[in-house]
C-alpha cells in the first residue's frame, strides 16, 4: 500500500512530504500518520526544524479528500471529532517551539492552506500558486481553524475578501498581504525551504525555543506578559554552553558552532 506521508531526517531537519501527487489530498490515513509524526518530532530533541512539503511539482494540497467525509465521521464518531483531530494537529505544530516551514505551490486550498497557517514560515511559488479557502463554493465553511488563523495572519479585511468570495490568490499576492514570508521560482522553492530549515536548526536550540515561547501567538498577550516571558528566556539562556560559544566566537571573529 502506498504511503500517504513520507518522513525523513536530514541532519537536524525533519522533512514531511504529502505523498498523493498530483493533488496531494489530506486523506484520513494521512492525517492519522501526520498526528503520529508530529508527536514523534515533538519528543525528538535531535530534530530542530521541520519542512512540510508535497510530492511532485503540481500542487501542495487540495485539502481533505471529500469522498472520505462520511467514512471519517464513522471512524471518529462525529463530525466534531473528525475536525477536532485536525485542529489538534495544527495547534501542536503551531505551539511546538521548533520552527516549521511550509512550501506552497499549485493548489493550496482548504486544509492545504489551513495546515500551513499553523506553520511558522510559509514560502510560496512565484508563479502558479492558487491559495485560498474556497469552502463557500461548496456551501460549506472552513473547519480546520482556517478562518481564525487567516484573519489573525492577514487581517480581517483580506480574510473577509478571500473567504466570502472563495478567492484564490497567487504567491505574489500572498506575499503582498503577509500570508507568506518569501516567494521563489518553483524549481527553487523546496531547496529554499530546506536551506532555511538548516539555518534555523543551526541556531542555538534553547534560544530558539525560548523566543518561540515569546513570539508564537504574541498578539494575544499583553506587553507585560511578553516582557515576563522574555525575562524568563534571558534567565534560561544565561550561562549556557551556546551563550558562551556565541560570545567566544564573537571575540575570536569566527562563526559560532552551536548545539554541540
Cα distance between residue 240 and residue 94, in whole Å: 26
Give 22's Cβ-side CA count (13 Å radius).
Answer: 4
Cα distance between residue 211 and residue 91, in whole Å: 18
pTM of the model: 0.94
Instruction: Give the model's pLDDT for residue 152.
Output: 96
- Which residues, at least 6 apart from 193, have a Cβ–Cβ distance to it below 8 Å? 51, 53, 101, 102, 103, 121, 123
Instruction: Give the model's pLDDT for residue 2.
Output: 83
The 3 state secondary structure assigned to the chain is: CCCCEEEEEECCEEEEEECCCCCCCECHHHHHHHHHHHHHHHHCCCCCEEEEEECCCCCCECCECHHHHHHHHHHHCCHHHHHHHHHHHHHHHHCCCCCEEEEECCEEECHHHHHHHCCCEEEEECCCCEEECCHHHHCCCCCCCHHHHHHHHHCHHHHHHHHHCCCCECHHHHHHCCCCCEEECHHHHHHHHHHHHHHHHCCCHHHHHHHHHHHCCHHHCCHHHHHHHHHHHHHHHCCCHHHHHHHHHHHCCCCCCCCC
How many other C-beta atoms are found inside a 10 Å radius of the C-beta of residue 100?
A: 24
Block means of pLDDT (10 residues each) for the chain, 260 residues, are: 92 97 97 97 97 98 93 94 96 97 98 98 98 96 96 97 98 98 98 98 96 94 95 94 92 92
In contact, 55 and 21? CB cutoff 8 Å: yes
Instruction: Give the model's pLDDT for residue 1.
Output: 67
Nearest to 214 by CA among 231, 202, 196, 197: 231
Cα distance between residue 125 and residue 58, in whole Å: 11
Instruction: Give the model's pLDDT for residue 158.
Output: 98
Q: Which three cell numbers stand for residue 34?
A: 501526520
Q: Which three cell numbers stand for residue 11?
A: 541532519
Amino acid at each position: 500500500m502506498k504511503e500517504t506521508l513520507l518522513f525523513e531526517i536530514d541532519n537536524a531537519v525533519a522533512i514531511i512530504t504529502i505523498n498523493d501527487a498530483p493533488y496531494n489530498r489530506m486523506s484520513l490515513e494521512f492525517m492519522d500518520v501526520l498526528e503520529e509524526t508530529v508527536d514523534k518530532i515533538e519528543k525528538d530533541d535531535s530534530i530542530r526544524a521541520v519542512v512540510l512539503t508535497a510530492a511532485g511539482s503540481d500542487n501542495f494540497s487540495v485539502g481533505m479528500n471529500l469522498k472520505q467525509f462520511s467514512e471519517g465521521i464513522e471512524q471518529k464518531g462525529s463530525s466534531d471529532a473528525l475536525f477536532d483531530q485536525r485542529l489538534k494537529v495544527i495547534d501542536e505544530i503551531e505551539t511546538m517551539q521548533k520552527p516549521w516551514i511550509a512550501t506552497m505551490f499549485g493548489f493550496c486550498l482548504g486544509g492545504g492552506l489551513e495546515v500551513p497557517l499553523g506553520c511558522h514560515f510559509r514560502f510560496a511559488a512565484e508563479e502558479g500558486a492558487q491559495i485560498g479557502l474556497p469552502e463557500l463554493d461548496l456551501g460549506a465553511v472552513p473547519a480546520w481553524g482556517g478562518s481564525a488563523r487567516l484573519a489573525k495572519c492577514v487581517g480581517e479585511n483580506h480574510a473577509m475578501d478571500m473567504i466570502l468570495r472563495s478567492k484564490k490568490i497567487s504567491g505574489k499576492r500572498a506575499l503582498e498581504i503577509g500570508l507568506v514570508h518569501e516567494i521563489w521560482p518553483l524549481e527553487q522553492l523546496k531547496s529554499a525551504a530546506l536551506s532555511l530549515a538548516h539555518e534555523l536548526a543551526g541556531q542555538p536550540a534553547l534560544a530558539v525555543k525560548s523566543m518561540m515561547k515569546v513570539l508564537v501567538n504574541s498578539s494575544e498577550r499583553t506587553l507585560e506578559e511578553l516582557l515576563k516571558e522574555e525575562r524568563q528566556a534571558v534567565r534560561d539562556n544565561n550561562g549556557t554552553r551556546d551563550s558562551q560559544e556565541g560570545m567566544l566566537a564573537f571575540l575570536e571573529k569566527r562563526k559560532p558552532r552551536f548545539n554541540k
